[in-house]
Amino acid sequence: ETGVTQSPTHLIKTRGQQVTLRCSSQSGHNTVSWYQQALGQGPQFIFQYYREEENGRGNFPPRFSGLQFPNYSSELNVNALELDDSALYLCASSVGLATQETQYFGPGTRLLVL
Amino acid sequence: GESVGLHLPTLSVQEGDNSIINCAYSNSASDYFIWYKQESGKGPQFIIDIRSNMDKRQGQRVTVLLNKTVKHLSLQIAATQPGDSAVYFCAENSGGSNYKLTFGKGTLLTVNP
């Protein structure tokens, strides 16, 4: 177990709705990264938060947004859900921003958009 | 663009055999590489990492080899056990301003008893 927790574990939404996913980072970690993993694929980087600021973003549209709180937990929000948003959403926490810091993943939230 | 790919999408081995999973990367500026294991329904689990100033690193039953000349990474698992059955991903940290990890598609390892 990594100490990274995510909620909910599973979620079903319909197209056009909005969803909020939550992540609690491992104790002592101040950086949270979010990834989307489609079935049969590797995780794809969405964005990263460091000390409550977005520190970089992957190739995802603006309807994917996030927050990081003072306790370093984080939220991923997705507006106007599309069928292709169905995936496993993973958060990973790490210490600081050094390129050689290991990212530890949570169990993920499985989102199904109907 | 940046990419990390695996040579073999599936690998089937007998219990007790050694397994080798390969990975090619394309970003010569990457300085940190990680192998993750992902079991069905779970998040990726850290196995072992290696920095670009090293060419070999050993853990418990696992060894990672890095060949920067040909941009190749491999994971060796000794005495493979049924519990090793999972999808294995290599990931590179491409550095820059956002320290993202770039993952390959994964290799499915099946260990036959």
pLDDT tens digits, residue range A11-42? 999 999 999 999 999 988 999 999 999 988 99
Nearest residue of A to residue B46 by CA position? A104
- Which carries the bigger pLDDT value, residue B43 or residue B41? B43
Model pLDDT, residue B1: 37
Residues composing chain A: 114
Judged by CB atoms closer than 8 Å, whether chains meet at B89 and A43 is answered as yes
Least confident of A6-10, B31-35, B78-82, B99-103: B99-103
Provide, as residue numbers in chain A, all residues whose Cβ is less than 8 Å from the Cβ of B104. Answer: 42
Q: How far is A76 from chain B (nearest CA, A)?
A: 16
Nearest residue of A to residue B101 by CA position? A45
A5 inside 8 A of chain B by CB: no
A59-114 pLDDT tens trace:
999 999 999 999 999 999 999 999 999 999 999 999 877 667 789 999 999 999 99
B42 inside 8 A of chain A by CB: yes
B2-25 pLDDT tens trace:
445 544 489 999 999 999 999 998
A19, A11 contact by CB (below 8 A): yes
Q: How far is A80 from chain B (nearest CA, A)?
A: 25
Q: What is the CB neighbour count within 10 angstroms for residue B72? A: 14
